Homo-oligomer: A and B are copies of this chain.
Amino acid sequence: MFASNNGSTAAGRTPRQVTKPPVADPRRTLTLRDVSEASGVSEMTVSRVLRNRGDVSDATRERVLEAARSLGYVPNKIAGALASQRVNLVGVVIPSLSNMVFPEVLTGVSDTLEDTGLQPVVGVTNYSPEREETVIYEMLSWRPSGMIVAGLEHTDASRAMLAQAGIPIVEIMDIDGEPVDSAVGISHRRAGRQMAEAIIAAGYRRIAFCGTMMPYDHRARKRLEGFEDALRKAGLELADREYYSGGSALLKGREMTEAVLKRTPDVDFLYYSNDMIGAGGLLYCLDKGIDVPGKVGLAGFNGVELLDGLPRRLATMDACRLEIGRRAAEIIAGKHEGVIGGEVVELTPTLQPGDTIRA
């Protein structure tokens, strides 16, 4: 991506040369038995101490902890999980890490899981259903305590695996569809509709759309569907549309905006499928001295905090990312007493008019 990263191997320390098999460590990997021998109690007692479970006298507890510490013992969770049939992992499957939405959801998940003893494990699908299927399969093979998966659209095999897994499954971000088990998210159709209504109410009539054309970004698609529905209901239709994929979103936003405004000069509003390209469009308009929101109005989607520093606040709708992460994690952690599975939590995003829709 950036050319000429001239890498050199500086032999700061003499690299160990080796013949074939990895150097047999002098010290085998430690087990409970080592700690038990070092502290003179049974393995079971050591296990109890290290897990803080069952009664152990303070004296032995001390002795064991000391031994474990001095040996540098790290328990083997693989063996532990197999024996106890319990795994403290929660699989989280998301399409991408470069779209800041998902790291934010993750933050919500981690925060909530923090004090439950559960730990999130992330898998990334790059918006590919096949990749998603693989990721889900791999994750399930570690027998996690729950799964959080972005979106409601999956391959049949994926749905089947999730349904069979016998653990809580939460599909997030979207609720326009039929979840495998539980779901937490917003209605993107409604979000799109709502934005369209606000735009129409503000008096804009020649409305264009700029967005991703990733075939598998179902949520962006649903927003656009809702958006167009609302336009139709008002007797309007999109004046123009422009799609992109890949590249710097900010730059793409500029380019698409330029393309649309040149091709359809009478456009008076641009609806972007996300805030980043919206920001690009905003910067373009400001550069060109176009009156925003007077001559052209702009709106995005997602409420990215990053945009706070722009010259003008872009109209947007937050997707409740943190909250989605939290709620999903709560369901997995079983914080909703008495109810198991089948929950659908609809969050309602707020429209933030910013400075790019006229009042």
Contacts and interface: CB of A to CB of B under 8 A. Distances in A.
Interface stretch (A17-25, A40-48, A220-228): A17-25
Given A17-B338, A143-B76, A309-B280, A345 B7 contact: yes
Contacts of A160: 72
A238 interface: no
A244 to B, nearest CB: 12
Interface stretch (A59-67, A200-208, A317-325): A317-325
Contact of A5 (B13, B78, B323): B323
A317 to B, nearest CB: 10
Interface string A290-318: 00000000000001011111110000001
A165 B25 CA distance: 10
A189 interface: no
A339 to B, nearest CB: 4
A303 B345 contact: no
Among A5, A339, A348: residue with most chain B CB under 10 A? A5
Among A7, A23, A143, A175: residue with most chain B CB under 10 A? A7
Nearest to A121: B121
B340 A6 contact: no
A14 interface: yes
Given A140-B74, A348-B5, A124 B98 contact: no
Interface stretch (A209-217, A229-237, A250-258, A260-268): A250-258
Contacts of A38: none
Interface string A49-93: 000000000000000000000001011111101100001000000
A320 B5 contact: yes
A196 interface: no
A336 to B, nearest CB: 8
B10 A346 contact: yes
Given A309-B253, A338-B17, A10 B106 contact: no
Given A13-B342, A76-B143, A283-B309, 15 more contacts: A2-B320, A5-B323, A6-B347, A7-B345, A7-B348, A8-B345, A8-B348, A9-B343, A15-B339, A16-B339, A22-B340, A78-B142, A97-B103, A248-B305, A250-B308
Interface of A: 1-2, 4-18, 22-23, 25, 27, 29, 72, 74-79, 81-82, 87, 97-98, 100, 103-104, 106-107, 110, 119, 121-122, 124, 137-138, 140-143, 160-161, 164-166, 175, 179, 183, 248-254, 276, 279-280, 283, 287, 303, 305-311, 318, 320, 322-323, 327, 338-350
